[in-house]
Amino acid sequence: MTDLKTSVQQQFDRVAANYRTSAVHALGEDLAQMVALADLRGDERVLDAGCGAGHTAAAFAPYVAQVVAVDFTEGMLRQVELLAAERGLTNLTTRRGDVEALPFGDGEFDLVVSRYSAHHWPHPAQALAEFRRVLKPGGRVVLSDVVGFDDPTCDTYLNAIELLRDPSHVRDYTEPEWLAFFASAGFAAEIGFRFRIVLEFENWTQRMATSEVNRAAIRSLYASAPAEVKKAMGISGAGHEFACGVVVGV
């Protein structure tokens, strides 16, 4: 286990319950879009990779045969089980695992989905290679996440703010980077949907239990950001916005 993955476990074990009740994660226009882009028949076995509190798994469960929710953090898996029980989802199960070394055999799934997890992956190309391995021929990946900026200045501010809020953050990858990762793993991929989310500063930092020192540093970056960064990220006194995208790979 790397130090980074230990950091992910420590960070999310202690705040897991916050993610089950988070409106940002429980709601969002991308959830319905992900289901639509999956082109479901109804008999699929689905893997939710880096499932967090289980909102994506729960969104797919009513439309497929089975969903297996995988996360590195036991605390998150407990939240998935609570969510499934609340919604009466009997076809949703959990499994502890690493997206870069999935605990499944070849060709076990029809679909892999992932949402707001990939910016924690140290080796996204390796994760996508694992997705391809566990998918049946013709299988599909539908991945939703914050995307980075092609502009270096905006991208630096974005990832600095993300890292200050959450030490387990790795990178918000750009759209070209995602398409290259998918291609390297053997997928034909495209951006299926683009959207933005608004992050209210107090709620966003409280959800991750960000330290007061780091909260002050983020505020400082807000204030010192160049005009083009403030515009691109929608920075205001209340918080900021993230550009996001849903990547579909076949």
Q: What domains does the chain contain, in order, with CATH numbers?
A: 3-147+168-196+243-249 (3.40.50.150)
| Contact present, 240 and 233 (Cβ < 8 Å) | yes
SS3 for 213-233 is HHHHHHHHHHHHCCHHHHHHH
Confidence class for position 208, pLDDT limits 50, 70, 90: confident
Q: How big is the chain by its Cα radius of gyration, in Å?
A: 17
Is 17's pLDDT higher than 80?
A: no
**Interacting residues of 197 by C-beta distance below 8 A, sequence separation 6+:** 24, 28, 146, 241, 242, 244
| Tokens 């992932």 belong to residue | 114
Share of the chain above pLDDT 70, in %: 89
Under the phi-then-psi rule, with left for phi > 0, alpha for psi from -120 to 50, and beta for the rest, what region is 134? Answer: alpha
User: Can you give the pLDDT at residue 28?
Assistant: 82
Mean pLDDT within 125-142 = 98
**pLDDT of 97 over the 50 cut:** yes
Lowest mean pLDDT among 64-68, 72-76, 132-136, 172-176: 72-76
CA dihedral 128, 130, 135, 138 (to 10 degrees): 40
| Backbone phi and psi for residue 28, each to the nearest 5 degrees, phi listed first | 120, 135
pLDDT score recorded for residue 14? 53
- Provide the token pair at 206: 């409280």
pLDDT over 90, % of the chain:
83
What mean pLDDT is predicted for residues 137-161?
A: 97
pLDDT bracket for residue 75 (50, 70, 90): confident
Q: Which distant-in-sequence residues (6+ apart) come within 8 Å of 123 by Cβ?
A: 100
Integer Cα distance of 147 and 176 in angstroms: 10
- 21-25, 133-137, 139-143, 200-204: segment of lowest average pLDDT: 21-25
Is the pLDDT at 12 greater than 80? The verdict is no
pLDDT for 1 beyond 50: no
Tell me the average pLDDT of the chain: 91
**pLDDT score at 250:** 97
SS3 sequence, 56-72? Answer: HHHHHHHHCCEEEEEEC
Output the pLDDT for position 6.
61
Q: What residue type is assigned to position 51 of the chain?
A: C
Hunting for tokens 């780091």 — which residue is that?
214
Mean pLDDT of all residues in 201-217: 93
* Rounded distance between C-alpha atoms, residue 204 and residue 182, angstroms: 30
Position 23 scores a pLDDT of 56
pLDDT at residue 82 tops 50: yes
**Residue 55: pLDDT band with limits 50, 70, 90:** very high
Q: How confident is the model at residue 192 (pLDDT cuts 50, 70, 90)?
A: very high
Rounded CA-CA distance 84/232 in Å is 37
Q: Which of 199, 179, 183 is nearest to 116 (CA)?
A: 199
Question: What pLDDT, on a 0 to 100 scale, did the predictor assign at position 223?
Answer: 97
pLDDT for position 204: 93
pLDDT on residue 5 = 62
pLDDT at 8: 60
